[in-house]
């Protein structure tokens, strides 16, 4: 475990000063500070933390940083930290570790803790079961409020939370949920069945983001996690739900922007790591751009006839791409928070089509005059009509792609950026040159 004696670290800061600075910070600030350090300095700084504080800090670190610290610490220190983690915090760390190290750490747990952890590992990686805590307080139906409070006092620190407690009947089926506040304010002789509320539950096999949205949208401290027969398995607490939603939001934001999520603090990522998160998407977008080049080659004669048409190609491509990205980002976010569902496809597309038409008309009216001064009224008319069509097309595609992707089981953020960029650029140029041929007679 962390201790004051540690080897000299070349280039490390003054250790007494660093220790004093870390001691003055709250746990979240220490976590942020460690995330800004290099791998070697992070390990040295972590060893400076007192034992109890080190446990708290380790628990809040990203799994990737936890993995690096596990590699840097001695075996006995790692085993001690691992044993102190809750089962739902061990599971993400085990996903990051090599199989041999994970097996060794599991073997060092007590049989009870090992069983609680391996149960979580049996669920799909992105499921609610993987994020729930199996250490859940539960009250049997039929007990009095006084008996319920006595039971909760006896549980102590063995459970994740006592602020929201499932009430279970025969076979551990969830009959209701009661809050600690309700128990404290109720008649001690009243039955728990009379003061409990209707339960809101999630299935262990539900997607973790959907389950986390249930917790957030309902304002719950925690939601019971059940199997297909409504038997209690664990609880998904609000802090775990918020971590899930933050990670999902980071992932969506990265992919909509055309890169892979970092899954760790930015300053802890190497330059090569940043390259790896972006290079595949850039290759995909380069390939997509060749379609645009192909369209321009096809209309080479028209460009030769009216060279001024080429002046506005970057403007049209940029406008269409921006309009499509705006629509896609809005719809992806609306789906993430539950405002929009797949059954709303027709309504969403209709709204975005109208939005695109109005945006395009506004831009056309504003841009017609300057375009006419630069290239003449005929070219300005071509540009204005094309902008209206491209904006309408871009917002329609930008809203349709994420919703169709979700319906067929694909992450909307993965396909939105490259597909919308390719489709809008290519079809926008086709529209542009087709309108030009019709108006200019070329």
129 to 163, 181, 235, 369: CA distances (angstroms): 20, 27, 9, 60
Over 90: is that where the pLDDT of 183 sits? yes
Over 70: is that where the pLDDT of 218 sits? yes
Mean pLDDT score of the chain, rounded to an integer? Answer: 81
Residues 6+ apart with CB under 8 A from 67: 93, 96, 97
Structure tokens, 291: 């379609």
Within the chain, all domains assigned CATH 3.10.580.10 are found at 139-251
Beta-strand relationship, 174-179 and 232-237: unpaired
CATH class of 139-251: alpha beta
Within the chain, all domains assigned CATH 1.10.357.20 are found at 270-440
Residues 6+ apart with CB under 8 A from 300: none
Closest by alpha carbon to 327, among 360, 345, 347, 349? 349
Alpha-carbon gap, residue 50 to 56, rounded angstroms:
10
pLDDT bucket at 103, cuts 50 / 70 / 90 = confident
Are the C-beta atoms of 404 and 416 separated by less than 8 Å? no
Structure tokens, 130: 């993987």
Are the C-beta atoms of 142 and 163 separated by less than 8 Å? no
Within the chain, all domains assigned CATH 1.25.60.10 are found at 15-122
| Three-state DSSP string of 111-134 | HHHHHHHHHHHCCCCCEHHHHCEC
Instruction: Render pLDDT for 245-297 as a digit per residue (tens, 0 to 9).
Output: 887 777 766 666 666 666 666 666 667 766 776 666 666 666 666 666 666 56
Alpha-carbon gap, residue 178 to 17, rounded angstroms:
49
Structure tokens, 401: 């792609």
pLDDT bucket at 409, cuts 50 / 70 / 90 = confident
Are the C-beta atoms of 130 and 124 separated by less than 8 Å? yes
Architecture of domain 15-122: Alpha Horseshoe (1.25)
pLDDT bucket at 189, cuts 50 / 70 / 90 = very high
According to CATH, the topology of domain 270-440 is Tetracycline Repressor; domain 2 (1.10.357)
Report the predicted TM-score, pTM, of the whole model to 2 decimal places: 0.62
């Amino acid at each position: 475990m962390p201790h004051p004696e540690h080897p000299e670290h070349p280039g490390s800061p003054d250790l007494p000063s660093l220790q004093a600075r870390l001691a003055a910070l709250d746990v979240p600030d220490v976590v942020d500070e460690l995330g800004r350090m290099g791998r070697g300095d992070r390990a040295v700084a972590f060893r400076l933390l007192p034992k109890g504080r080190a446990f708290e800090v380790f628990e809040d670190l990203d799994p990737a940083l936890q993995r690096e610290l596990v590699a840097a610490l001695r075996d006995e220190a790692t085993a001690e930290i691992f044993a102190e983690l809750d089962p739902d915090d061990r599971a993400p760390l085990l996903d990051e570790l090599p199989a041999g190290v994970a097996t060794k750490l599991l073997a060092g747990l007590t049989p009870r803790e090992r069983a609680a952890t391996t149960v979580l590992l049996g669920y799909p990686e992105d499921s609610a079961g993987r994020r729930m805590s199996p250490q859940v307080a539960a009250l049997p139906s039929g007990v009095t409020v006084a008996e319920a409070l006595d039971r909760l006092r006896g549980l102590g620190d063995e459970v994740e939370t006592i602020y929201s407690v499932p009430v279970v009947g025969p076979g551990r089926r969830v009959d209701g949920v009661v809050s600690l506040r309700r128990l404290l304010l109720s008649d001690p002789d009243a039955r728990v069945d009379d003061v409990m509320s209707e339960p809101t539950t999630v299935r262990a096999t539900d997607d973790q983001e959907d389950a986390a949205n249930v917790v957030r949208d309902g304002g719950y401290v925690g939601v019971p996690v059940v199997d297909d027969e409504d038997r209690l398995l664990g609880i998904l607490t609000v802090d775990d739900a918020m971590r899930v939603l933050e990670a999902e939001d980071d992932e969506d934001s990265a992919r909509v922007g055309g890169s892979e999520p970092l899954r760790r603090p930015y300053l802890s990522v190497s330059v090569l790591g940043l390259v790896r998160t972006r290079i595949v998407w850039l290759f995909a977008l380069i390939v997509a751009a060749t379609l645009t080049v192909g369209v321009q080659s096809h209309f080479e004669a028209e460009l030769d006839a009216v060279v001024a048409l080429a002046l506005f190609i970057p403007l049209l491509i940029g406008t269409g791409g921006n309009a499509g990205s705006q629509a896609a980002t809005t719809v992806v976010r609306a789906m993430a928070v539950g405002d929009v569902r797949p059954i709303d496809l027709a309504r969403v597309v209709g709204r975005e089509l109208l939005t695109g038409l109005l945006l395009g008309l506004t831009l056309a009216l504003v841009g017609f005059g300057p375009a006419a001064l630069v290239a003449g009224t005929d070219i300005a008319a071509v540009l204005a009509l094309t902008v209206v069509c491209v904006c309408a097309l871009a917002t329609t595609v930008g809203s349709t792609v994420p919703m169709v992707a979700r319906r067929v089981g694909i992450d909307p953020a993965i396909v939105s950026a490259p597909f919308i960029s390719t489709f809008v650029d290519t079809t926008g140029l086709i529209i542009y040159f087709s309108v030009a041929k019709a108006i200019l007679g070329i």
